Amino acid sequence: MPQEASKVSDPDADTKVAAEAVAESSKQAEAESANESGDEETGTAEGAEGAAGKKKKSKKNKIKDALSGKGKAGEVTDLNAPAGGILPKEAMNMLLANNPALANELQGKANNKDDLQKLLQALNLNEMLTGLAPQGSQKDMASHAFWKTQPVPSFDEMANKDNIKDGPIKEIDIEKVDKNPSPMYPGFEWVTMDLEQEKQLEEVYELLTNHYVEDKDATFRFKYSPSFLNWALKAPGWKKEWHVGVRATASGKLVAFISGIPIQMRVRDKVLNCSEVNFLCVHKKLRSKRLAPVLIKEITRRCYVEGTFQAVYTVGSLLPTPVSTARYFHRAINWEKLYDVGFSPLPHGSTKQRQIVRYKLDDTTFTPGLREMEAKDVDATLSLLQRYLERMDMAQVFNKTEFEHWMAPKEKPKEQVVWSYVVEDPDTHKITDYFSFYNLESTVIGNKKHDTIKAAYLFYYATEVAFEKDEVKLKKRLNLLMKDALILAKKADFDVFNALTLLDNPLFLEEQRFGAGDGSLHYYFYNYRAAPIPGGINSRNQASKDHMGGIGLVML
């Protein structure tokens, strides 16, 4: 489902978020105070006029008032100050609700509600604001009321993590599953997209290009190429029926889409046959039609018909209820371009030239025996990756056909999608290491100088060093491999290298100069309950080696 279009976090923007939160809560406090004191002589019409006047107050003025201390809340000047001395309880609870990683951490430490409030009061603003789920720019993922009707765990259930027993939420009787779709709204009709037809693949491409995930400032939008979609939507075992579209009856125009592909996924010691649901997209002008819940129900029905009763999906926004949350990190390759388009900020006290020098990469790689992966390497590399992923709580279970499709496609597309490299020991000729990344461009909206950002996304990797169970050695090896991955990405003309806090990524993000992004990615199961899985971030939403090793599933 929709991912998160993240960019490098800007501390100044965090201050503005704090100011808005303070201003909003101050406004509520003033309204409550006015209601309590009550001016009996004030007429209804006058009160309504006053309320309307308040509503018209601009965000700019709210921020200004909050920062100058005009509101009832404290002045926001230091993000490291204790939140309890600045934010009212309502504002703190609001921020906590948008930071699931922090909420889970605090709930785990607190014995009761009083303990939770004390821990909350002691946090500083920076801890509460880091990595908040952006609001307002997410795609229509249906309301929380809709998700309450679905077989997904509630927030309360996941809060009691010690009592969670992994397993299906609902038993599905395949004989009782509807064989036909539910009626579509008047003026629209269900279609099954045939992606073997170039024209229909192009239609999906056009819909996603113009209406899929944007960042919270509507500056960037994912740009999935036809080559990428062929790769992503036609994995081994793919089913045409799981490429679901909605057309406008009158024009025949494709206005909505959702997809699923079959995967085997291990959650701790259980292997599930499930669908990986992705690319939920609704035309912007039709968001009010509430097509998202209808699409979700239909892809669910089609999966049930095939005997697939569980699903996994990722979303940038907070829904009931994530099994894990990871954070995006970004490593600039072409910093100047990223700055020009508003992707990377210029830090206080620095200059453009210093930033360019800071992110400069070598021209040649450092690891002896590093080369592109070839067909002859598939068996050895697959074995290495399988053993590596066994260390994770949750991971995809690859067979050879799937591995070849994802890491070493036999048919070369018009545009290269994935890059895979191995390290061959010069003496033994054994494959000791492997890493890969894929290409996903983003459209730059409204920039006269640049129209796209070419982004490399870290995919899967593995190393024999991991089995020595020496974290110092593993960190050293991963930093060497990722340094080379960055150099190879630069040679392939990428502008930025993106990674989540999955796998063992926290071991190299800081040393390789990745910057924290402003987006998080939540992992969800459908019709499956599982105790929370660490996503590589701590209670402050920072990359943490103490919380890594949970997620071994990279979703596109």
3-state secondary structure of 387: helix
106 a catalytic residue: no
The CA distances from residue 505 to 90, 498, 521, in Å, are: 35, 11, 15
Q: Are 510 and 545 in contact (CB under 8 A)?
A: no
Biggest CA–CA distance in the chain, Å, is 92
CA-closest candidate to residue 120, choices 130, 111, 110 = 110
b/e sequence 492-511, b meaning 16+ C-beta within 10 Å: eebbbbbbbbbbbbbbbbee
Residue 449's contacts (CB-CB under 8 Å, 6 or more residues apart) are 340, 341
Counting Cβ atoms within 10 Å, is residue 472 exposed (0-12), middle (13-18) or buried (19+)? exposed
The region that residue 252 occupies, defined by phi over 0 for left and psi between -120 and 50 for alpha, beta otherwise, is: left
| 3-class SS of residue 202 | helix
Contact yes or no for 523/551 (Cβ under 8 A): yes
**Which of 272, 291, 503, 556 is an active site residue?**
556
Q: Do residues 158 and 532 touch, judged by C-beta distance below 8 A?
A: yes
Q: Whose CA is closest to 130, among 546, 540, 537, 545?
A: 540
175: tokens are 């004989």
User: Among candidates 406, 374, 375, 398, which has minimal Cα distance to 234?
Assistant: 406
Type of residue found at 259: S
- So which residues are the catalytic ones? 556
